[in-house]
Structure 1
Amino acid sequence: MESKTYPFFRGLFRGIFKSFYRWKVIGQENIPEGEGLVLCANHISNWDPILLGCGIERQVHFMAKAELFRIPVISSLIKDFGTYPVKRGAGDRQAIRTSLELAKQGKVLGIFPEGKRNRTGEGKVGNILPGAAMIALKSGVRVVPVAIIGPYRFFRGVTIIYGKPVDLTAAVAGKDNAERTQAAAEVIRSEIQKILDIHKK
């Protein structure tokens, strides 16, 4: 169930994107109801988490750096958005446990598997970290590849495309345990890149 704050701000930012960024959303029908999902998107701007959440009707849960949860007003707001803390620079087991619990509860997670913004501007997905693949494999939920095409400039247009859900467990069937996560991460990278190649301007 969504918080009361989440749909209000989603509507607010939808208005901003539509009015100033000629926002276009493709593939909303690819987001099923009632099942856990991991949305995996390329990362080009600090606006990406907001854009990713605004494009669909389901609430999207994100990790956010732990430092934000020490700021009283900000902490209350982002917790109401369904955001949870992660300690950067090291494997945060609690953040991973929270991700797995949310996925198994049928929630939607939003993850940028490149780990940081890709500034190449060439429409290419950078190196993929294994976290999103690991969470999807361990929780058994499907991954939705998502492509964001900018630039985020007034009246220039920004597009977000939600691809069809991918079952990573089936995609890496037959792989040795040591290879499964790496192979699944490559599937995520490849699926996002396919969408970018089809839709990039």
Structure 2
Amino acid sequence: MNRSIKMREDVLLRKLLSDGEGIGEDRRVQQIGSFLRDSRTVDDIKLVDAVKIIKCIDLLEMSSLKQKLVARMNRNMAQDFNNLTVEIDNEIDRMYNKMEAAKIDLTNSKLVKKNRQKYRELVNSMEAWPSRADSMRKLVEVKDELLRQHDRQKLLEVKLNDRRNNLIAFNVMLANFQKFITEDDEIADEHVASRDDENDDSPSVD
């Protein structure tokens, strides 16, 4: 039952969208009023006039249904846009936090690189005096520290690569959203043009 009602609403919506935004309703109401007045004074009502009036009544009913359906559709679209806006705002916040974290990681990576350079200089200085036991002990410590710093730099590079991939994905999402907005504007323009064309074809009573 619900499926049948939904199908009927879809059919009515397609028909009503082609009829325009209620254009010609005042004229149809006037035609119906004139017909009712004339029917009181005329004994023989022309069948063609009666058919035209029935068609006007059907169009008025369809226009009323259209306004309800369009209002519902607009509410749904507005809700979808609101949800999408919230989602994008949240994603922007997440990406901002990730970029801030990436800046910190980059700073740490530069510091590690600088420390490694200093350690190399120290190692070279120590290796110039291999006979000194204290220098050899420090050399072992420096080598161990270099290994730890090397592992840390690898980890930071992995994090930076992840941040870069996230930024690329976010840019793609923004581009798709802009495309969606542009297509929606084009559909709205086509709907306005269709409404103007249908206004010229509205039925009239002779």
Q: Same-fold call, TM > 0.5?
A: no
TM-score category by the smaller chain?
A: under 0.3
TM-score (norm 2): 0.22
The structure whose residues are more often helix, as a share, is 2
* Largest Rg, 1 or 2: 2
TM-score (norm 1): 0.22
